[in-house]
Amino acid sequence: MHRNAALITGASAGIGRAYAIEAVRRGWQTMLLTARRVERLEELAALLRAQGAGAVHCLPADLSNPAERRQLLAAVERLGIVPDLIVNNAGFGSLGPFSEADPSWELKMVAVNVEAPVEITRH
């Protein structure tokens, strides 16, 4: 049984990275980190371990891809970890008039900003 397990999406940089660092500082022991950039996740994992995290798992995934979201959730399940904390941090926006936006880009944004948090939280 893992206690104080946190799953953080968009963990490789910015706010997600800061959440992970702060969680470990506050005593969270098991970190499940996901983002697209594996090398950045691994760098963060090394930092968190050096700061006292018990177990850090890097789970790369593109949350705009439904198959990768399913793989992420399956990986968490295989680890036997039920997160006590989920930080749905992954997300992005677009600039400019909606009427000029690329529809495929807008759908990708909905997948990351809406579908992924719902799917991850409900799992």
Whether 106 has a pLDDT exceeding 50, the answer reads yes
Whether 1 has a pLDDT exceeding 90, the answer reads no
For residue 59, give both structure tokens. Answer: 């789970």
For residue 102, give both structure tokens. Answer: 């690329």
CB count within 10 Å of CB 104 equals 8
Q: What tens digit of pLDDT does each residue of 10-54 get?
A: 999 999 999 999 999 999 999 999 999 999 999 999 999 999 999
Helices (H), 1-123: 14-25, 38-50, 66-79, 103-110, 116-122
DSSP state of 98: G
Please, are residues 42 and 112 in contact by the beta-carbon 8 Å criterion? no
Sketch the domain layout of the chain as residue ranges.
5-122
Q: Which CATH class is domain 5-122?
A: alpha beta
Whether 8 has a pLDDT exceeding 50, the answer reads yes
Q: What tens digit of pLDDT does each residue of 50-104 get?
A: 999 999 999 999 999 999 999 999 999 999 999 999 999 999 998 899 899 999 9
What pLDDT does 3 receive? Answer: 66
**Distant-in-sequence, close-in-space partners of 7: CB < 8 Å, separation ≥ 6:** 32, 34, 76, 83, 85, 86, 87, 120
What pLDDT does 2 receive? Answer: 57
Please, are residues 91 and 13 in contact by the beta-carbon 8 Å criterion? no
Residue linked to tokens 């206690």: 3
